[in-house]
Amino acid sequence: MSTPQTASAFAQPWDAPDDVRITRVRTIATAPEGIPLLVVKVETTDDGLYGLGCATFTQRWRAVATYVEEHLARLVIGRYPGDIEDLVRLARFSSYWREGPVGNNAISGLDQALWDIAGKRAGRPVHELLGGKVRAAADTYLHAAGATIDETLEQAEKLHEEGLRHIRLQTGQPGAGHYGAPAVPQAAKTDDVYAGGWSVEEYLRRTPELFEAARARLGGDIALLHDVHSRLTPKQAVVLARSLETYRLFFLEDVVAPEHWDRLPQVRAASPVPIAVGELTTSLSDAARLVLGGGVDFIRSHVSDIGGLTAARKIAAAAELVGVRTAWHGPGDTSPVGAAANVALDVTSPAFGIQEGHVYADAVHEVFPGTLRIERGWLRPNEAPGWGIDLDETAAARFPAGLSGHDAWAAQVRGRDGGLIAP
């Protein structure tokens, strides 16, 4: 797709400080690990000055690309790129009906690209524009997941040997009840309507067994985490949290679906384990309600889903005021640009708790020169201007983005009665 090179009719009502203007806004989709990543590129009248922003809504990336190129671009072409807050607000309110992952990922791509440009113009990394570091690096967790408890713990041991101090544990069971853990084939029971269906009762039994074995095998020094993926009722969430108390989890993630977030204060009050929620927030206001509503210990938003760095830094500030900590979503469906935004927030916010990480394949580093690397469990920001990350469009074209494998994954979990269990 391409963007018409026409000036925006939505000019600001004040004089810009210089002659730099936005000339083009476009998207680049690529999948070097098989996961569609969408990046927005904002170009300017200053030759060679451009910015990159993460707009990766993996499951619906084509909708985001259309939103950016057919709707947002015409709002900002001709505008001064330094007016980040005004441009982001213009983009947010322009459609009248607002919020949601498509619109906010599009806005995030624009927003993060403008921050990249601001850093490059200043000759400083983005984290300095946010006020500078309050820590040298972000402590990071990775995932250990296997079809069996032994397979999961073998992976966890390897991660610990590599320097990880925080590890998320998931293990498989019939019915593929979790992202990131393989399903376990099992013959249907005689009273099952749906062969291999997922059982919440079995999950509530097996999960404490996983953590009992983990503490026996890994010891007490490793911080352990677990993701429920939103498939419990509020009462079941409390039952699980209490059953895990003795294993001292760092946090228990996404215990209930977004439709039941109003019950989180009750769940948190009854839970002896810290509660982390927010991966499914799709707006700044969603995330703010979680932070300010007393239902979470960690806020887990996917930064591009809530509108980008500008939105997320407001959430981090709110979290600091009420004693909530950040744990930004950051698996392989976050682009390296999005990962850089996460770390900029991590090292500049006193509210930082932990950062989810991903070990990017060599192909990703080829497409995105400057991609951050986890070293002994730590993530450090680039010190180059902006994000310190570039995009090789020739390399990106060798890994075309297609339909996401996540499209059906979220909707394939069914109970033993055949009913769909929504994440």
Distance CA 321, CA 315 (A): 10
- Neighbour tally for 50: CB within 10 Å: 21
Q: What residues have CB less than 8 Å from 150, skipping those under 6 apart?
A: none
The one catalytic residue among 127, 160, 226, 229:
229
User: Residue 325 corresponds to which tokens in the numbers above?
Assistant: 């900590």
Q: Is 365 a catalytic residue?
A: no
- Angle (nearest 5°) at CA 342 between 341 and 348: 90
Residue type, 84: I
Q: Is 179 a catalytic residue?
A: yes
Annotated catalytic residues are 179, 229
